[in-house]
Amino acid sequence: MGVPAQARDFPNIHLPAPARGSAALRALAAHLPQLAAAYGKSTDELASIFLRDDTLWTDIHGRLFYGCEFGTPPVNASGAENTGAIAEAPLPYDQTFLLHSRPSATKVIYLDFDGQVTSGTAWNSNYNGGQDIVSAPFDLDGIPSSFNNAEMDAIQYIWQRVAEDYAPFDIDVTTQDPGVEGLQITSSSDVYYGMRVVISPTNWYKAAAGGVAFVGVFNNLSTNTNNSNYSPAWVFTKQLGPNNEKYMAEAVSHEVGHTLGLHHDGVIGGSAYYSGQGNWAPIMGVSYYKEVSQWSKGEYANANQTEDDLAVMQTYGISYRADDHGNTIGTATPLANPFVSQSGVIETRTDVDTFSFQTASGLIAFRVDPAPRGPNLDIYVRIYDGTGNLVASNEGAGLPATLIATVAPGTYYLEIGGGGSGDPLTTGYSDYASLGQYRITETVIGTYEKNPVATASASPTSGILPLAVNFSSAGSLDPESSIRSYYWTFGDGSNSTEPSPAHTYNTKGNYTATLVVTDNAGLRSSATVAMTVNEPIRLTLNTGGTGTTSTGGTAANVSSGYATATVDSGITPYGTAVFSLSQNGVVVSEAGVPASPPAQSARIFIDYRTGVPAGVGTLDIYTGFAIAQRGNASATITYTLRDRSGQTVATGHGNLAVGAHFAKFIHELRDVAPDFNLPASFPSATRFGSLEITSSQPVSVVALRLTTNQRGESLLTSTPIADLSASLTNSPVYFPQLADGGGAATTLILLNTSNGTEAGTLAIFDDHGTPLALRESGGTSGSAFPYSVPAGGAFVFQTDGSPAAARVGWVKLTPNSGNSAPVGAGVFSYSPAGILVTESGIPSAIPTTNARIYVDKSGGHDTGLAVANPGASVNSIVLQAFQNNGVTTAGNGQAVLNIASGGHAAKFVGEMIGGLPDGFTGVVRISSPSPFVALTLRSLSNSRGDFLLTTFPIADA
């Protein structure tokens, strides 16, 4: 990730004009110590640089920049790289402005060839009277409005060269505009930023400069400024050849180097720009005329400074990329015989990349090529045997590197690294910055008798005893003949010679099942599967009581599965799970997940959107589901994705073994249904819909919604499913809680489970039973809203959350006459200060006169109740708290809520029943003479002070 955006302590300086040399020292005299410290220099060091290098300037506010005025490079300069005629571009021309060297990186160098209007920067105020600076597009043919093939060739080659210079780092060199947000630093926690380099024939700087750039601004975040105030860097193409591909690329890397804190490499008593020795020159000197240009730390004779380029740049926002291949025999990357094509990067001076291969006796040969344009890596190759003895090597300078040897049969190791050439003090260079890209392009490896490949899998791999497991050897193979035999040991003393046997574990424990396969040549290989068998967790619940159990949550990796409850005696209890997710030591999400009864036909709501603007950033919203199968035979499952209008978008098919389980988001469904093709436009165009799940066996389904908030945290909640086998009804649907305003918003989701349109009205009421007016997101204000859901479709209603203070109430859905009621669910969200901290599914409620809720006031939690009165008269609702045994009363007696007709109340239990201490867990019984609808609220104030809320249904008693 590199060093984050950095606030540096700059003095408050106001000069009448930019200055350099001794004039700059006089103008900055009072501020020089503080300014030098801001740039990581001593006062004497900075003064020395000003005096020896008159291309270093201070702007009117004391910020340093270089105007790189080393004259126009001569045509066919002595020692310049001989590239010959420009060859055909390396990539299709339609990719010219879509090039990325490392797309996953969060730091960017943007090569801007298509012209730029620069406004409001320090360049404007220093040199253009505050007016816009208009830079023309890169142009070779005098037609700046378009790019011909020769121009696109040059652009692609310049990109290749700059990408090679920065290849050791976790940074993306790109020709695709990343936008303002991809370049500009917005806060100290922002990790997505970079530097624009405008490559243009327009030289507004006027002097004979190849380029200009501010110093050390790549990750600048100072008072009232950020990196965009000192961006872009410029490369002036007419001063570079003109338009010499190598010169322009060298200038780009050089100017970006300045923005990463680097100064010029020169010689004592001579030029401020060292032009190199032999075939080598430093990038921060003048490297136009040498074949090899690298970063430097002043190892040549009479260097005027020994700045460690690679170390300095890492203090200004970038870092080395992760190592791509192991450095040792034990971590070697296997090469596949007999045809090898492998690429890599030497990232650091101490990095080597090691590859393993097997060969029969005879000739082996390798050719390793560096980057195709302007390589920095001087490659050496070595071959070692299995005990680490050197077999052959090519240590010589020159590119590419080749190695040929004759060896006995066995396993060998190819090592690739970066070397130096000659004496760094005279005509050579060290291995200090011999870094960059390579590719193994030509190989000759003798064939070798190969072992078979064993692949073992099991379903399930964990569960409660007795645990029935289906083992499989699918994927096992022999590259040269066939597998002769299979032998399984299950770790409990049992074995099998079947390729894919079934086995039942009857004793608790951790087991390793091992598969050994033997081929026709007698060679063997093995594979293992880890098995975990647990005893069931036993709970004894009193009538009206409660019990809980939990997982430790201490494992390093996430494990997913499911739980089943078997009743030994008594009636089936009500059950709910609560998922808790912590990131960086802070609980960021809790989700209530009610028990899921098996069904063969169900529908869930799909919300899949990315980059949704919200508050101070954007949200990514994903919908998925978990399925568990406890039937008697493998389940064949069909998945049908529809949009909001009920039109089919995609279908897929898959199987689920007995006892198996999976959890997938909609964009991952193809993992288990290979013929399911989610349209690429779904998250940007379709966005909403429903997924119908039809199974040949009863399966339990849970709908999952995950939102990545503005801080990159994962907020997980569950939403109810629609059982398509349930009888249709014309009865009202009730949502006992709605909140809008003060950072809160509510979304209601309706799914049509019939074959015809379902229409009706959503009516919203406040605590007193009075219609509650609010505004629909993107719509009008009102207290009643019509809905219409096409067959197989979905309907979404969302409050806009605009009121400054929160307003609460409830919702009654009334179908039109002759229409059946849709299945309803909701999502509550809370975003204080523009950051989403809570999302919670809201199930609809069925009227009842008796219910129970589980109460938890431990560990920072609290429990509340949202209740509404759908009746025509006042309803007196009685609440009574009990200990976990359901018998011993708790608190200071009963509480009575008198709720008006159509009224509502939402309170925490402690606000209704006094005397319940912190840490209390138990049950609250709810009863009334007339039906009510209710919802359990569970809250948590985390260690950061965020208010987290989850909901789940009441237990109808």
Looking at residue 731, its amino acid is: S
Q: What is the average per-residue pLDDT within 197-208?
A: 92
| HSE value, Cβ hemisphere, 13 Å, CA-based, for 41 | 22
**pLDDT on residue 358:** 82
138-147, 214-223, 841-850, 893-902: range with lowest mean pLDDT: 214-223
Q: Please tell me the distance from the alpha carbon of residue 689 to that of residue 691, in angstroms, as a whole number.
A: 7
List, in order, residues 6 or more apart from 616 with CB less than 8 Å away: 710, 833, 834, 835
Rg, Å, the chain Cα set: 35
List, in order, residues 6 or more apart from 312 with CB less than 8 Å away: 40, 260, 261, 262
Q: Whole-number mean pLDDT of the chain?
A: 90
Checking if the pLDDT of 522 tops 80, the result is no
Assign 399 a pLDDT band (cuts: 50, 70, 90).
low
Q: Please tell me the distance from the alpha carbon of residue 35 to that of residue 55, in angstroms, as a whole number.
A: 18
Encoding tokens for residue 114?
């298509």
Q: What is the average per-residue pLDDT within 531-549?
A: 84
67-81, 124-138, 191-205: range with lowest mean pLDDT: 67-81
- Cα separation values, 601 from 500, 598, 719, 722, 753, Å: 31, 9, 17, 9, 10
Q: Give 870-925 pLDDT, tens digit per residue.
A: 999 999 999 999 999 989 999 998 999 999 999 999 999 999 999 999 999 999 99
| HSE value, Cβ hemisphere, 13 Å, CA-based, for 253 | 28
**pLDDT on residue 223:** 55
3-state helix/strand/coil string of 575-631: CEEEEEEEECCEEEEEEEEECCCCEEEEEEEEECEEEEEECCEEEEEEEEEEEEECC
Residue of 541, 604, 535 whose CA lies nearest to 575: 541
pTM > 0.75: yes or no: no
Q: Are 897 and 877 in contact (CB under 8 A)?
A: yes
Neighbours of 513 (CB within 10 A): 26
Phi, psi torsion values for 324, nearest 5 degrees: -95, -20
Encoding tokens for residue 292?
């090899």
Checking if the pLDDT of 421 tops 70, the result is yes
Fold of 329-444: Jelly Rolls (2.60.120)
| Distance between start and end Cα atoms, the chain | 54
Q: Give 467-487 pLDDT, tens digit per residue.
A: 989 999 999 998 777 899 999
Break the chain into its structural domains and give their ranges: 19-79+88-313, 329-444, 457-534, 576-722, 846-957
Ramachandran bin of 915, using left for φ above 0, alpha for ψ from -120 to 50, beta for the remaining angles: left
**pLDDT on residue 568:** 81
- Cα separation values, 341 from 148, 344, 378, 670, Å: 33, 11, 19, 30
Place of tokens 């050849």: 241
**pLDDT on residue 903:** 97
- Asked if 329-444 and 457-534 have one fold, the answer is no
Burial of 896 (0-12, 13-18, 19+ CB in 10 A): exposed
Neighbours of 36 (CB within 10 A): 18
CATH 2.60.120.260 describes domain 457-534: no
Q: Give 576-587 pLDDT, tens digit per residue.
A: 888 888 888 899
39-53, 540-554, 757-771: range with lowest mean pLDDT: 540-554
Checking if the pLDDT of 337 tops 70, the result is no
What is the rounded (10 degree) CA torsion for 393, 395, 401, 403?
-20
Assign 719 a pLDDT band (cuts: 50, 70, 90).
confident
Higher-pLDDT residue of 644, 399: 644
**pLDDT on residue 75:** 45
**pLDDT on residue 564:** 82
**pLDDT on residue 938:** 93
Span 576-722: which CATH code?
Answer: 2.60.290.11
Q: Please tell me the distance from the alpha carbon of residue 182 to that of residue 610, in angstroms, as a whole number.
A: 16
Checking if the pLDDT of 338 tops 80, the result is no
**pLDDT on residue 88:** 47
**pLDDT on residue 408:** 85
**pLDDT on residue 1:** 41
Most confidently predicted of 183-192, 612-621, 718-727 = 612-621
Q: Give 351-371 pLDDT, tens digit per residue.
A: 999 999 888 767 788 889 999
Q: Give 788-824 pLDDT, tens digit per residue.
A: 999 999 999 999 999 999 999 999 999 999 999 999 9
Assign 556 a pLDDT band (cuts: 50, 70, 90).
low
Q: What is the average per-residue pLDDT within 927-946?
A: 94
| Percent of the chain topping pLDDT 90 | 73
Q: Please tell me the distance from the alpha carbon of residue 34 to that of residue 42, in angstroms, as a whole number.
A: 9
Give the angle 747-753-755 at the CA atoms, nearest 5°: 130
3-state helix/strand/coil string of 564-577: CCCCCCCCCCCCEE
**pLDDT on residue 7:** 60
**pLDDT on residue 76:** 42
Checking if the pLDDT of 685 tops 70, the result is yes
What is the rounded (10 degree) CA torsion for 674, 680, 683, 689?
-60
What is the rounded (10 degree) CA torsion for 397, 401, 405, 409?
130
Place of tokens 């093939």: 149
**pLDDT on residue 186:** 85
**pLDDT on residue 836:** 96
Percent helix, strand, coil in the chain, to 5, is 10, 40, 45
Residue of 523, 475, 517 whose CA lies nearest to 497: 517
**pLDDT on residue 84:** 32
**Beta pairing, strands 410-418 & 401-407:** unpaired
Looking at residue 92, its amino acid is: P
Checking if the pLDDT of 17 tops 70, the result is yes
Q: Please tell me the distance from the alpha carbon of residue 698 to that of residue 694, in angstroms, as a whole number.
A: 9
In eight-state DSSP terms, residue 227 is G
Q: Give 738-757 pLDDT, tens digit per residue.
A: 999 999 999 999 999 998 99
Handedness of CA 779, 780, 783, 786 (dihedral sign): negative
Q: Please tell me the distance from the alpha carbon of residue 509 to that of residue 457, in angstroms, as a whole number.
A: 19
Assign 245 a pLDDT band (cuts: 50, 70, 90).
very high
What is the rounded (10 degree) CA torsion for 479, 480, 482, 484?
-100
Q: Please tell me the distance from the alpha carbon of residue 641 to that of residue 639, in angstroms, as a whole number.
A: 7
Give the angle 676-682-683 at the CA atoms, nearest 5°: 125
Assign 525 a pLDDT band (cuts: 50, 70, 90).
confident
Neighbours of 879 (CB within 10 A): 21
In eight-state DSSP terms, residue 166 is T
Q: Give 434-475 pLDDT, tens digit per residue.
A: 999 999 976 766 655 667 899 999 988 888 888 989 999 999
Q: Please tell me the distance from the alpha carbon of residue 311 to that of residue 320, in angstroms, as a whole number.
A: 10
Higher-pLDDT residue of 574, 171: 171
Checking if the pLDDT of 89 tops 70, the result is no
User: Could you tell me where the beta strands, DSSP code E, fall in 271-361?
Assistant: 280-282, 292-294, 333-334, 342-346, 353-359
Name the CATH superfamily, with its identifier, for domain 846-957. TM1070-like (2.60.290.11)
**pLDDT on residue 297:** 97
Q: Please tell me the distance from the alpha carbon of residue 523 to that of residue 453, in angstroms, as a whole number.
A: 10
